[in-house]
Amino acid sequence: MWRMPATKIPLSAVILAGGDSKRMGESKAFLRLKGKPLVELVFDKLNNLFQEVIIVTDRFEDFAYLKEATITGDILCGEDKNAMRGIHAGVFVSSCDASFVVGCDMPFISMSLIKHMSTYAPDYDVVSPKVQGHYQPLFAFYNKSALQVITPSLKEKKFKIVALYPHFNKKIITEEIVRFFDPHLLSFHNINTREAYLEARQWINNDEY
């Protein structure tokens, strides 16, 4: 069972909360589970582990009640919203060398898996799980060194973060290691549809989480 560390690790966490939630039809960040908005569930977990938590959003007022968070908007704007722009902003404003990036709609993140990944973060551009043959770019650590690749790509209007992975000095967390910490891969369950939200509520009601 995960236990909060005696001291927080000297890295940042970045919560991406700038999406339009088009498939959900309402803000995913404020859907409620266990009596709390999703973003607050994610924030509470990360705030217990990390020295700093940053929320990237264009709706500053909605998140202002999370007093301990640093709130920022995108640094590079001008195109449609995209996750890479949010990653860039969070890593750019972070006061730490490396930052863990996750979506605001991923409430089942494994803290023990994140803690394990954090041990590699200072030495790599990116630390990312690879599960069922796919990288997990929104459950990954990004070092400030990664901005040397991310920033030019954004300026060239190339917004697919995984397409940049061949250019990073990266540490891949294998599925075997991921499943050791998170056997059912719940860390990567993002609530971006009504069906996914109902499924998450079912897990909680059945004490599966």
Domain boundaries, the chain: 9-205
Residue whose token pair is 């902003």: 89
Are 43 and 66 in contact by the 8 Å Cβ rule? The answer is yes
pLDDT value at 23 more than 90: no
Tens of pLDDT, residue by residue over 127-172, are 999 999 999 999 999 999 999 999 999 999 999 999 999 999 999 9
**Mean of the per-residue pLDDT values for the chain?**
90
Instruction: Quote the CA–CA distance of 63 and 71 in Å, as a whole number.
Output: 8
DSSP character for 158?
A: -
Which homologous superfamily is 9-205 in? Spore Coat Polysaccharide Biosynthesis Protein SpsA; Chain A (3.90.550.10)
